[in-house]
Structure 1
């Protein structure tokens, strides 16, 4: 029987807070009948407002969901409620899935085994060299304009940068120059204006942009610089490269919305290799059901990962899944060793703005602000963490293993583990 997820892992799958609340309302045993669970799936029938109960099932290897209710949310409250019931040991084991569940699982397997469509002819797929050269010229011109603009800012002073629309014109010109990565970096400069140290942080961002321009001028530009400027690498190219197989611990995930686009960031670490990985998925605002929900915080996945090119490869795609692995508390390190790892990543990619770390034997401490401290020092928490009550409660004064996202402004806690080794989503 597959290891049960706990309540935190289930609620982390919800598309919004209202879905979490609604799931609690349908998670009591009295709401459900004909429930069962195998290593593949959990299923049941939930009493609704109509004469027929809603049939809900979850493919635990995905996870993937199916429910006969009309909800447009994904997963719906019935699938979440069923998982909450299962997490509370309220679903009995079964020798095999119900007929309607088995039919759905067979359909999913058939789709997964369906051969991929034949690739288009190489001539049709090959990029137009003239267009590629035109883009190179546009990008180079756009970056030269960016560098002149940076020089003007330093020469004239940054006092006028307090307006949040200060960079709008430059962003539009970089988009026109087909340098979306650089444009995105400039568009986020307004976020540094909130703190008292905004002048130092803004100058640091300007320095990194100047470094990006300089790195792109080199012949040939490094893949890391080209990626940061905005030259894409297709999924097909990434998946055609080498892969790394490991048991990958899912440390946590976070959704961010910008410009009507939701980005889901799932952080992983290899149990054997110790490699960090970031798996991204995207969806238009309001359509979270299309985001990848298969990487559940606290689970361990036996999989091959293919990494995007770069001097400090981090972003990856899941190339092949070999199944779930036994979940356990991931190995960690002290703050000093974690910061050495971050420093090595920054040496390879100076534009790195986040990196997953696992700290072992640390406690949340109040020292002006909050930090995670251990015998060999501590690392401050990100200001957005506020007072980390959930982390403090999980610790109770005892050392913890904590997974967090390192950023230049501090750590954003992702998850920790209780005394029984169960994940706690932070």
Structure 2
């Protein structure tokens, strides 16, 4: 039997709220001509303002989309509307052989995939790889040593004189040249930090730069953490070739962040059997939703490969076993505020540069105080990190709670709690990162 996606799953693919709203108007049979599905793809022709209908096809496994409309958004409203029709009104999208134009696109995709799979891999040259690694290690060590000197200059001249260490953007560029993008990203943040947090960040950066110059002396797990923080990457194929963890992964929530170049999606999961937390990262161009989409409360059985580190969290998605579907109606198990604080402390002991740790709080009530929003479980309170979610979302959270305890998932760190998803009783999860 064909597994259909839920409405929440389809809408989570949308690049923005405007696309979700427009897709809703195309989710009925009226605009569509000869929609169909073969279990692996969905296709149909959608009438528009012109005389020629838009031809839309979605390959479900990836997913991948093709539409003849001129939209620069990806997926477009037609692809989303077709998926909503397929998921919500199955009888309107009968089983059929793909239309000629849909089959041509699908066959071309399969052919390209086959060519990539058949292409011989370039022969490995261990000696060349070792030389490249040694050259990069030398550059990173030199860059980290220079950063330590710049930070020391800043402290010696006094933190009130922000120009003492030189323009930080210039220092960040030097870290990029040293092939240490992680250091560069943290350096760029210095210019925007309030005065009271500068010494803290100077100290953490100095510690990271020092560790980067002494990788060979560190325990293996801590060295892996430092390499990740500095900006070394691990090839996904290499990760997936190693040990993987198969589980039924519950989606706790996701958050999208955007800049002029990239949309980054963070998706947090928890293993039903292992209880292990995981974070998947996906990227998309501006106006394009990242491919990875799993609404909060849904479950996906899959294999994950974790990036190495003292506190492994980021993972790569491997083999999937079936389509994602709604999970249990009950909210996930959580911690008290005191337990959450202790849990973050344990995580920081393993990874000193950890800004936050995924945490489910149980039995908490949102309250607005003169010092800002807080979550309290009756014994302890935790501040909501300023700017973590829209103010309107916090008011919605308070309205859902009406003084009754909730289960809330988010990231807990030294700046407070950044809520992502909330559960009230057996109701479906409420996303808080967008309104």
TM-score, with normalisation over the residues of structure 1?
0.84
Tell whether the 8 Å contact from 2:13 to 2:291 is kept in structure 1 after alignment: no
Which residue of structure 2 aligns with residue 345 of structure 1? 347
Which residue of structure 2 aligns with residue 292 of structure 1? 291
Cα shift at 1:28: 4.9
Cα shift at 1:174: 1.7
Residues 47, 424 of structure 1: CA spacing in aligned structure 2 closer, same or farther, 3 A cutoff?
farther
CA deviations on 1:115-137 (whole Å, 9 max, x unpaired) are 464332122x6544444333322
CA distance in 2, matches of 1:191, 1:362: 32
CA distance in 1, matches of 2:161, 2:188: 16
CA distance in 2, matches of 1:37, 1:394: 39
Which residue of structure 2 aligns with residue 367 of structure 1? 369
CA distance in 2, matches of 1:400, 1:111: 49
Which residue of structure 1 aligns with residue 395 of structure 2? 389
Cα shift at 1:316: 0.9
Which residue of structure 2 aligns with residue 332 of structure 1? 333
Secondary structure (helix, strand or coil) at the match of 2:91 reads coil
Residues 72, 261 of structure 1: CA spacing in aligned structure 2 closer, same or farther, 3 A cutoff?
closer
Tell whether the 8 Å contact from 2:242 to 2:305 is kept in structure 1 after alignment: yes
Tell whether the 8 Å contact from 2:4 to 2:86 is kept in structure 1 after alignment: no
Cα shift at 1:166: 3.9
Residues 164, 63 of structure 1: CA spacing in aligned structure 2 closer, same or farther, 3 A cutoff?
farther
CA distance in 2, matches of 1:41, 1:150: 55
Mean Cα deviation higher: 267-276 or 203-212: 267-276
Which residue of structure 1 aligns with residue 200 of structure 2? 204
CA deviations on 1:3-33 (whole Å, 9 max, x unpaired) are 65245x5443221343234324434554345
CA deviations on 1:41-94 (whole Å, 9 max, x unpaired) are 66554321234443445455544434343333211011223344566x444376
Cα shift at 1:312: 0.5
CA distance in 2, matches of 1:275, 1:116: 36
Residues 374, 154 of structure 1: CA spacing in aligned structure 2 closer, same or farther, 3 A cutoff?
same
Which residue of structure 2 aligns with residue 22 of structure 1? 22
CA deviations on 1:319-360 (whole Å, 9 max, x unpaired) are 211123542255231233333332222111111223322223
Give the alignment of 1:31-110 within 5 angstroms: 31-32=31-32, 34=34, 44-59=44-59, 61-85=61-85, 89-92=88-91, 96-97=95-96, 99-100=98-99, 103=103
CA distance in 2, matches of 1:350, 1:273: 25
CA distance in 2, matches of 1:215, 1:302: 38
Runs of 5+ unmatched residues, structure 1: none
Residues 146, 393 of structure 1: CA spacing in aligned structure 2 closer, same or farther, 3 A cutoff?
same
Runs of 5+ unmatched residues, structure 2: none
Residues 333, 316 of structure 1: CA spacing in aligned structure 2 closer, same or farther, 3 A cutoff?
same
**How many positions carry a matched residue from both structures?**
416
Cα shift at 1:100: 3.4
Which residue of structure 1 aligns with residue 405 of structure 2? 399
Asked if 1:425 corresponds to 2:421, the answer is no
Cα shift at 1:141: 1.9
CA deviations on 1:135-174 (whole Å, 9 max, x unpaired) are 3222222211211222222222111239999411211222
Secondary structure (helix, strand or coil) at the match of 1:159 reads coil
Cα shift at 1:311: 0.3
Cα shift at 1:229: 1.5
Tell whether the 8 Å contact from 1:175 to 1:183 is kept in structure 2 after alignment: yes
Q: Which of the residues 217, 222, 229 maps onto 1:220?
A: 217
Residues 39, 131 of structure 1: CA spacing in aligned structure 2 closer, same or farther, 3 A cutoff?
closer
CA distance in 2, matches of 1:80, 1:30: 15
CA distance in 2, matches of 1:95, 1:214: 62
Secondary structure (helix, strand or coil) at the match of 1:82 reads helix
The CA RMSD measured in Å over matched residues stands at: 3.4
Residues 182, 71 of structure 1: CA spacing in aligned structure 2 closer, same or farther, 3 A cutoff?
same
Which residue of structure 2 aligns with residue 118 of structure 1? 120
Residues 287, 272 of structure 1: CA spacing in aligned structure 2 closer, same or farther, 3 A cutoff?
same
CA distance in 1, matches of 2:188, 2:165: 9
Mean Cα deviation higher: 169-178 or 373-382: 373-382
CA distance in 2, matches of 1:399, 1:62: 39
